[in-house]
Copies of this chain bind each other. A is one copy, B any other.
Amino acid sequence: MVNETQHTCGASSSSKSDGGSSSGSESSKDSSRCSTPVLDADRHERLREKMRRRQDSGDKWFSLEFFPPRTANAAVNLISRFDRMGAGGPLFIDVTWHPAGDPGSDKETSSMIIANTAVNYCGLETILHMTCCNQTRDDITRHLQKAKRLGLKNIMALRGDPVGEEWEEEVDGFNYAVDLVKHIRNEFDDYFDICVAGYPTGHPEAESYEEDLKYLKEKVFAGADFIITQLFFRSETFFKFMKDCQAIGITCPIIPGIFPIQGYHSLRQLVKLSKLEVPQEIKDVIEPIKDNDAAIRNYGVELAVSMCRELLDSGMVHGLHFYTLNREVATTEVLKRLGIWKEDPRRPLPWAVSAHPKRRVEDVRPIFWASRPKSYIYRTQEWDDFPNGRWGNSSSPAFGELKDYYLFYLKSKSPREELLKMWGEELTCEESVFEVFTSYITGEPNKNGYKVTCMPWNDDPLATETNLLKEQLEKVNRRGILTINSQPNINGKPSTDPIVGWGPSGGYVFQKAYLEFFTSSEIVTALLKVLKKYELRVNYHIVNVKGQNITNAPDLQPNAVTWGIFPGREIIQPTVVDPVSFLSWKDEAFALWIEQWAKLYEEESPSRMIIQYIHDNYYLVNLVDNDFPLENCLWQVVDDTFELLN
Which A residues fall within an 8 A CB radius of B?
31-38, 387-394, 396-397, 491-492, 506, 508, 510, 536-537, 539, 553-555, 557-560, 563, 565-571, 573, 576, 624, 626-629
Highest count of chain B CB atoms <10 Å: which of A33, A36, A555: A33
Q: Which 6 A-B pairs have the closest CB atoms?
A: A567-B626, A389-B390, A33-B392, A539-B568, A31-B393, A560-B570
With both chains docked as a complex, state the minimum distance between the C-beta of A580 and any C-beta of chain B, in angstroms: 10
Please name 16 pairs of A and B residues whose Cβ atoms are closer than 8 Å in the assembled complex, sorted by A.
A32-B396, A37-B390, A37-B558, A38-B555, A38-B557, A506-B626, A536-B567, A537-B567, A539-B568, A557-B569, A557-B570, A558-B569, A559-B567, A567-B626, A568-B624, A571-B571
Judging by beta carbons under 8 Å apart, are B568 and A576 in contact? Answer: no
- A-B contacts besides A34-B34, A510-B565, 14 pairs, CB < 8 Å: A31-B393, A35-B393, A388-B392, A506-B627, A508-B629, A539-B568, A558-B569, A559-B570, A560-B565, A560-B569, A563-B565, A563-B571, A567-B626, A570-B576
Given A33-B387, A34-B390, A537-B506, check contact A570 B567 (CB 8 Å): no
Given A568-B626, A626-B567, A628-B565, check contact A393 B559 (CB 8 Å): no
With both chains docked as a complex, state the minimum distance between the C-beta of A215 and any C-beta of chain B, in angstroms: 41
Judging by beta carbons under 8 Å apart, are A397 and B539 in contact? Answer: no
With both chains docked as a complex, state the minimum distance between the C-beta of A93 and any C-beta of chain B, in angstroms: 28
Residue of B nearest to A394 (CB): B33
Main secondary structure of the interface of A (DSSP, over half): loop
Residue of B nearest to A577 (CB): B568
Residue of B nearest to A538 (CB): B567
A510 to B553, CA, bound (A): 24
A537 to B628, CA, bound (A): 25
A6 to B286, CA, bound (A): 111
Chain B residues whose CB sits within 8 angstroms of the CB of A627 once the complex forms: 506
A539 to B555, CA, bound (A): 38
A565 to B32, CA, bound (A): 26
With both chains docked as a complex, state the minimum distance between the C-beta of A644 and any C-beta of chain B, in angstroms: 24
A569 to B37, CA, bound (A): 20
User: Which one of B33, B554, B568 contacts A559 once the chains associate, using CB atoms below 8 Å?
Assistant: B568
With both chains docked as a complex, state the minimum distance between the C-beta of A542 and any C-beta of chain B, in angstroms: 15
Chain B residues whose CB sits within 8 angstroms of the CB of A508 once the complex forms: 628-629
Residue of B nearest to A626 (CB): B567
With both chains docked as a complex, state the minimum distance between the C-beta of A150 and any C-beta of chain B, in angstroms: 24
A210 to B383, CA, bound (A): 63
A237 to B464, CA, bound (A): 73
Chain B residues whose CB sits within 8 angstroms of the CB of A33 once the complex forms: 387, 391-394, 396-397
A35 to B570, CA, bound (A): 17
Judging by beta carbons under 8 Å apart, are A539 and B558 in contact? Answer: no
Judging by beta carbons under 8 Å apart, are A571 and B567 in contact? Answer: no
A281 to B508, CA, bound (A): 69
Highest count of chain B CB atoms <10 Å: which of A392, A554, A555: A392
Residue of B nearest to A573 (CB): B571
A404 to B466, CA, bound (A): 60
Judging by beta carbons under 8 Å apart, are B557 and A568 in contact? Answer: yes
Chain B residues whose CB sits within 8 angstroms of the CB of A553 once the complex forms: 568
Judging by beta carbons under 8 Å apart, are B568 and A570 in contact? Answer: no
A87 to B408, CA, bound (A): 61
A627 to B554, CA, bound (A): 34
User: Which one of B390, B491, B536 contacts A570 once the chains associate, using CB atoms below 8 Å?
Assistant: B390
A573 to B571, CA, bound (A): 7
Judging by beta carbons under 8 Å apart, are B576 and A573 in contact? Answer: no
Residue of B nearest to A564 (CB): B571
Chain B residues whose CB sits within 8 angstroms of the CB of A38 once the complex forms: 555, 557
Residue of B nearest to A35 (CB): B392
Judging by beta carbons under 8 Å apart, are B568 and A554 in contact? Answer: yes
Judging by beta carbons under 8 Å apart, are B559 and A569 in contact? Answer: yes
A564 to B492, CA, bound (A): 14
Chain B residues whose CB sits within 8 angstroms of the CB of A388 once the complex forms: 34, 390, 392
Chain B residues whose CB sits within 8 angstroms of the CB of A31 once the complex forms: 392-393
A569 to B563, CA, bound (A): 12
Residue of B nearest to A579 (CB): B568
A563 to B510, CA, bound (A): 13
Chain B residues whose CB sits within 8 angstroms of the CB of A393 once the complex forms: 31-33, 35
With both chains docked as a complex, state the minimum distance between the C-beta of A44 and any C-beta of chain B, in angstroms: 10
Judging by beta carbons under 8 Å apart, are A492 and B387 in contact? Answer: no
User: Which one of B392, B554, B570, B573 contacts A391 once the chains associate, using CB atoms below 8 Å?
Assistant: B570
Judging by beta carbons under 8 Å apart, are B389 and A392 in contact? Answer: yes
With both chains docked as a complex, state the minimum distance between the C-beta of A516 and any C-beta of chain B, in angstroms: 16
A315 to B324, CA, bound (A): 82
With both chains docked as a complex, state the minimum distance between the C-beta of A314 and any C-beta of chain B, in angstroms: 32
Chain B residues whose CB sits within 8 angstroms of the CB of A391 once the complex forms: 33, 570
Residue of B nearest to A36 (CB): B392
A34 to B392, CA, bound (A): 5
With both chains docked as a complex, state the minimum distance between the C-beta of A579 and any C-beta of chain B, in angstroms: 9
Judging by beta carbons under 8 Å apart, are B570 and A570 in contact? Answer: no
Judging by beta carbons under 8 Å apart, are A557 and B626 in contact? Answer: no
Chain B residues whose CB sits within 8 angstroms of the CB of A557 once the complex forms: 37-38, 568-570
Chain B residues whose CB sits within 8 angstroms of the CB of A576 once the complex forms: 570
A396 to B35, CA, bound (A): 12
With both chains docked as a complex, state the minimum distance between the C-beta of A505 and any C-beta of chain B, in angstroms: 8
A388 to B388, CA, bound (A): 10
Chain B residues whose CB sits within 8 angstroms of the CB of A573 once the complex forms: 570-571
A107 to B536, CA, bound (A): 50
Chain B residues whose CB sits within 8 angstroms of the CB of A554 once the complex forms: 568
Residue of B nearest to A539 (CB): B568
Chain B residues whose CB sits within 8 angstroms of the CB of A32 once the complex forms: 392-393, 396
